[in-house]
Amino acid sequence: MACYSSSMSECRLVVMRHAKTHLGSSTGDDFSRALTPRGSADALAMGLWLHARQPDLARIVSSPALRTRQTVAAITVPWGETPPPTRWDPALYLAEFDTLLGVVETVRDATTLLVGHNPGLEDLIRHLVRDPASGSQQTGGKLMPTSAVYVLELSRRRGRPAAGSAVLVAHMRPKFLAADTAASDED
């Protein structure tokens, strides 16, 4: 699937942090932490928001942790029987900035959703967007709380994206969805 953008020389990258999780798991390991009921609801709500804005999503690249698998399952519900294909990349589990930037380098040919973990995702957003808080409704705290989504436009140029090279197209968090819907209803 081709990359959707306002320009043929640019591509969309959607970055999402997994939804809210339980503090522990039944096995005691971090990899097996599951979503809370609120996390499942937030992921589904973000999936509806994302599908309305990015129905042409070509693929998903995600950490294989239980919480990211459950997040992907919930956010793809709006795509019905034909969700975007998902690649479970073990390198994305708790990935640091350099690993994430390497993955971004490989997916600049099509609209891609990257699902992962903090603090790596915050580092990635801070690198790609000059002032990530400027258009994000952020009022302090984390750039990437659970279920946060950033939609970016990147050049399709080969190589690792340079600092500040992305344009912030949209940003959403579950707690902002009601305000976003209310604003849309007034238009």
Domains of the chain plus CATH, in order, are 10-186 (3.40.50.1240)
Identity of the residue numbered 71: T
Residue 12 pLDDT > 90: yes
Residue 184 pLDDT > 60: no
| Tens of pLDDT, residues 48-95 | 999 999 999 999 999 999 999 999 999 999 999 999 999 999 999 999
**pLDDT band at 105, cuts 50/70/90?**
very high
HEC string for the chain: CCCCCCCCCEEEEEEEECCCECCCCCCCCHHHCCECHHHHHHHHHHHHHHHHHCCCCCEEEECCCHHHHHHHHHHCHHHCCCCCCEEECHHHCCCCHHHHHHHHHHCCCCCEEEEECCCHHHHHHHHHCCCCCCCCCCCCCCCCCCCCEEEEEEECCCCCCCCCCCEEEEEECHHHHHHHHHHHHHC
Task: Calculate mean pLDDT across residues 122-150.
Answer: 80
Sign of CA pseudo-dihedral 170, 55, 87, 146? positive
Task: Calculate mean pLDDT across residues 171-176.
Answer: 93
Q: What is the pLDDT of residue 80?
A: 96
